[in-house]
Amino acid sequence: MKKRIIFSISAVFILVLAFSFVLSMQKTGVAGGGQEAFQMDGSTLMKYLGSSEVVYVPDSVQVIAQGAFEDNDYIKKVVLPSKLTTIEYNAFAECDNLLEIDIPDRVTKIGSAAFANCKSLSDVYIGKSVEEVGSGIFAGCTDLQDLDVSEKSTTLTCLDGVLMSADRTYVYQMLPGREKPFYIMNNKVEEIGQYAFWGCNNLEHVILSDKIQEISPYAFSNAANLKSVSMSFAVTEISMKAFEDCGNLEQIYIPDSVLKIHETAFDGCSKLNFYTADGTYGGMYAKEKSISVTNTPIYSLSYAEEVEEDYYQAIKEEKEKSEQAANAPIEIEVGPDVMGYTTLVGNHAVILMDSGAGEVVSGANAQWNDELKEMAKEGSVEANAFYGVDTLKDVVIPDGVKEIDKFAFARSSLTSVTIPEGTETIGYAAFYHCDNLDEVAIPDTVTYIGDKAFAHTKWLENWYENGEGDYLIVGDGVLLAYKGKPEDYKIPAGVKYVACETPNS
């Protein structure tokens, strides 16, 4: 009897050990290759040779070496250890089935092409400590439309499908899965990284920041459907293979300021036409390379503006059709003592009042007011937030808003706007074609106003007709408009930023 009991206990013990071993194998990622699947050099993972779909990198790993997971088509998810600090060049490149990756908070460096050509990658989180980012880290990741960056990061952010520095002065990379056909670059951007727009095949039209001085090597290379590019008079150099193999690039505006274009800058651009002036470096380069030229001495914006507006207009119209179909008015029977009836319009309950029954209460107005308050907590009125909204009249933007982003109120029914003290930036076309806007209060804290921010508003048109002086200066020394003779134009003392097109440009 004792022998049987001892045997039974031993059998159970062996089973427990076996089960624990299997769990351990799964947790460490050695299933499908054993412990030898991880080739280590101290705390550096040199190579993973396993075939697991879900890989748990050992807790001791601090560095993932160059090409450690490269060309592994088995993995779908890799769980990285909390002690990890460095992901080297090509570490996960060509992992065709990799779906998601979370980069831990201790990681400070992501090497160039770290996740290049991971075609299925669509879910990415970047921790708070990344300081060094190589070029083209997500190049060729055609399913990646957006990614999340830790709110605690002081170095990185992702805006509108573009990974950039937190202060928005440096563009690391447009994510290749970004679907919009246009990109109007934030005017804070001063530099574009190499391979920043490489292989972004949805991109068709681009307007660069007014602060860009150099188009970096390979910046737009292999953007197969890119059609037009505009740049400002800040640009002086277009570098090696900057637009290589942009086979559909037809229109590029080369300003007089460009003094150097690399021999290979436009290799493979068979449809190219330069928009430039006679006698400029761009004109001479075009002649030497047999590139067709359209003479234009004045800087012209590309089609990106029209395409962007058409894009959001189409979204608005599609949304309206959808709401009308899905939310046909539902009338609710009410008694004689009730002032009106409720109807559902665009997912908002709106009380429609009987004549003389009392003051109209609009659910839509309450909606946009609440949205503004929420945006104030984040410090920004979002791009296109109230584009085309036809219920706006007098808007007081809440305290806390530092930025009013592009097209925020464009083509809305706005009649007056009060911008709070503390606001610093009014973005491109923020109030564009607010045809009824005739009262605007801009505080002294505003240091930047983007192109066409108040174009086609009564307020600006009234100034052109009746305003005093030839210069409209607002905010903290922002020259918004000039209406004098070109030969008399001279930037007044105290102007810190010129937001209008100058008569001689």
- Are residues 366 and 301 both part of a single domain? no
Contact 299, 232 (CB under 8 A): yes
Three-state SS at 456: coil
Half-sphere exposure of 333 (CA within 13 A, CB side): 0
Percent of the chain with pLDDT over 90: 62
Q: Does the structure show a pLDDT above 90 at 42?
A: yes
- 8 A C-beta contact, residue 165 and residue 198: no
Report residue 384's pLDDT band, with 50, 70 and 90 as the boundaries. confident
Residue 188 backbone dihedrals phi, psi, to 5 degrees: -85, -20
Q: Examine residue 210 and state whether it is found in any structural domain, yes or no.
A: yes
- CATH code of 49's domain: 3.80.10.10
Residue 495 confidence (pLDDT) above 80? yes
8 A C-beta contact, residue 274 and residue 296: no
Q: Are residues 385 and 267 in the same domain?
A: no
Flag whether 20 is in a domain.
no
Identify whether residues 237 and 384 lie together within a single domain: no
pLDDT of residue 481: 93
- Average confidence (pLDDT) over 6-24: 46
> CA–CA separation, 387 vs 406, rounded Å?
10
Residue 194 dihedral angles phi and psi, to the nearest 5°:
-60, 140
Burial class (CB in 10 A: 0-12, 13-18, 19+), 5: exposed
Residue 458 lies in a domain: yes
In-domain check, residue 353: no
3-state class of 151 per DSSP? coil
Question: According to the model, what pLDDT value does residue 291 have?
Answer: 95
47: Cβ contacts below 8 Å, ≥ 6 apart: 38, 39, 65, 67, 68
In-domain check, residue 76: yes
- Structural domain including 408 reads 362-498
Q: How confident is the model at residue 366 (pLDDT cuts 50, 70, 90)?
A: low
- One domain for residues 375 and 263: no
Q: Among 105-119, 220-234, 319-333, 362-376, which stretch is predicted with the lowest mean pLDDT?
A: 319-333
Q: How far apart are the first and last CA of the chain?
A: 103
Residue among 433, 385, 442 at smallest CA distance from 413: 433
Q: How many domains does the chain have?
A: 2
CA distance 143 to 312: 23
Same domain, 263 and 378: no
Task: Choose the final residue of a domain: 288, 305, 322.
Answer: 305
Q: Write the pLDDT tens digit of every residue in 74-132.
A: 999 999 999 999 999 999 999 999 999 999 999 999 999 999 999 999 999 999 999 99
61 with 155, same domain: the answer is: yes
- For residue 395, the domain's CATH number is 3.80.10
Same domain, 397 and 469: yes
Give the tens place of pLDDT for each residue, 28-39: 444 444 567 999
pTM attached to this predicted model: 0.63
Q: How many CA within 13 A on the CB side of residue 24?
A: 8
Which band of pLDDT confidence, cut at 50, 70 and 90, is reported for residue 411? confident
Question: Are residue 396 and residue 300 in the same domain, yes or no?
Answer: no
123/256 same-domain check: yes
Is 318 within a domain? no
Answer yes or no: do 291 and 430 share one domain. Answer: no
Res. 67 pLDDT band, cuts 50 70 90: very high
pLDDT at position 56, please? 94
Strand 44-48 and strand 38-41: pairing? antiparallel
Confidence of residue 503 (pLDDT cuts 50, 70, 90): low
> Same domain, yes or no, for 295 and 388?
no
The residue written with tokens 């396993």 in the block is: 50
Q: For tokens 């007056």, name the residue.
A: 416
Is residue 138 a contact partner of residue 115, using CB atoms and an 8 Å limit?
A: yes
pLDDT tens column, 263-321: 999 999 999 999 888 788 999 999 999 999 987 644 344 567 778 777 777 777 777 77
The distance of Cα 356 from the centroid of its chain, to the nearest Å, equals: 49
**Pick from 337, 374, 375: nearest CA to 357:** 337
Domain boundary pick from 305, 321, 346: 305
pLDDT digits (tens, 9 = 90+) for 154-192: 999 999 999 999 999 999 999 999 999 999 898 889 999
Mean pLDDT estimate for the chain: 84
- Show which of 257, 282, 305 is a domain's final residue: 305
Residue 340, in any domain of the structure: no
48 part of a folded domain: yes
Integer angstrom CA distances of residue 211 from 285, 451, 480: 23, 13, 18
Q: What are phi and psi of 459, to 5 degrees?
A: -60, -50
Tokens 């200066």 label which residue? 473
Residue 455 in this model has a pLDDT that exceeds 60:
yes
**CA 99, CA 45: separation in Å to the nearest integer?**
21
171/44 same-domain check = yes
> In sequence order, what are the residues at sequence separation of 6 or more whose Cβ sits closer than 8 angstroms to the Cβ of residue 221?
195, 198, 241, 242, 243, 244, 245, 246
Cβ density class 467-490: b for 16+ within 10 Å, e for less: eeeebbbbbbbbbbbbeeeeeeee
Given a contact cutoff of 8 angstroms between Cβ atoms, the answer to whether 174 and 201 are in contact is no
